[in-house]
Amino acid sequence: MSLFKGKTSFLLSLFLYTLVLIAVLLYFRFPAETFKTYCEINLSKLMPGTECSIDRIHYRFPYSLVAKTITISSNKQGKQELFTIERARISPDISALTSQLQVEINAFAGVHTFTLVLGPDKNEFTLEDIQLHGLDPSRIPFLGEATKRKISGTVDGNGQYHGIWENGKYSATGKGRITLQNGSFSLLLPILSLNSIDLKKFSTDFVLEKNSLQCSNGNFHGKELKGEFSGNVTLKSTLKAAIVSFEGELEPLPPLLKKSTHTKKMLLLVKKQHKRGTIPFLLKGTVQKPRFKFKS
């Protein structure tokens, strides 16, 4: 028994020594520029239609990589910047060294994590256990540019995402839930006399499949208005061209009814005709040019 224990201790010590030695060698001889170029090329492939640049990447003891200032831009004429990640830390998953990576990124005022799982070949990948914490949508340049609206608040979320290339085409599936708190959403045209909607909380479940983002169990609650909704977004080559189709119900709250006579009259009419205290609505069009109307 003592011999077995001695051999086990020796092997464990040898294994730990090897790990430390590899870590030290990587720290002093890590090929930073070569690996940076490799990451830039492959990140661009992961997100079709984009180009990636990384300011700096270095090895961190004992076995992590840290990348600073990752900029994602459109590869079309003009190369518009889409977003920037201030910092990303990538570490191998000990249980699957060659196929799984733990990723932590600092971006859009928050810290977000996920597990990157590489497929059996180079044509697919999965982002598992995506966790968004403290994301500020106003920090995402392309979002404001595409919607032509000011969106603020704190976003948390979770989900998963799977991407694959087949016959030269890229497709993706995914699902999750997203929540925005203590924010606001500006409107292109007034709705119920409001130019913007203050949000205490906004949340929805979503499923991504075949270029369609299906939203369900959507609801929001603000200072003057609350509502429920469901629908879908048909994705196009650009976010602003994506087609939206939603329906739901709005419920004006006492502060809004107090200051808007028009809203109060509309709610009274709905109650009289349909015996309900909410106003049904439709939202159709594109992300940049939606058309809002009340259902009769």
pLDDT tens per residue across span 171-228 = 889 999 999 999 998 988 888 889 999 999 999 999 999 889 999 999 999 999 999 9
Sign of CA dihedral 52, 78, 241, 219: positive
With bands split at pLDDT 50, 70 and 90, how would you rate the model's confidence at 113?
very high
- Please give the residue that has the higher pLDDT: either 286 or 119: 286
pLDDT of residue 281: 94
pLDDT recorded at residue 181: 96
pLDDT band per the 50, 70, 90 thresholds, residue 40: low
Q: Is the dihedral of CA 78, 163, 56, 136 positive or negative?
A: positive
Q: Which pLDDT band, with edges at 50, 70 and 90, does 98 fall under? A: low
Per-residue pLDDT tens for 229-279? 999 999 987 888 999 999 999 999 999 999 888 888 888 888 777 778 889
pLDDT score recorded for residue 123? 76
Which ranges in the chain belong to alpha helices (H)?
Answer: 2-29, 32-46, 141-147, 254-259, 261-274
Report whether pLDDT(30) > 50.
no
Higher pLDDT, 57 or 77: 57
Q: What is the mean pLDDT of residues 127-152?
A: 90
- The dihedral through the CA atoms of 183, 256, 250, 186 has a sign that is negative
CB 105 within 8 A of CB 85: yes
Spell out a b/e string for 164-176, using b for 16 or more CB atoms within 10 Å of the CB, else e.
ebeeeeeebebeb
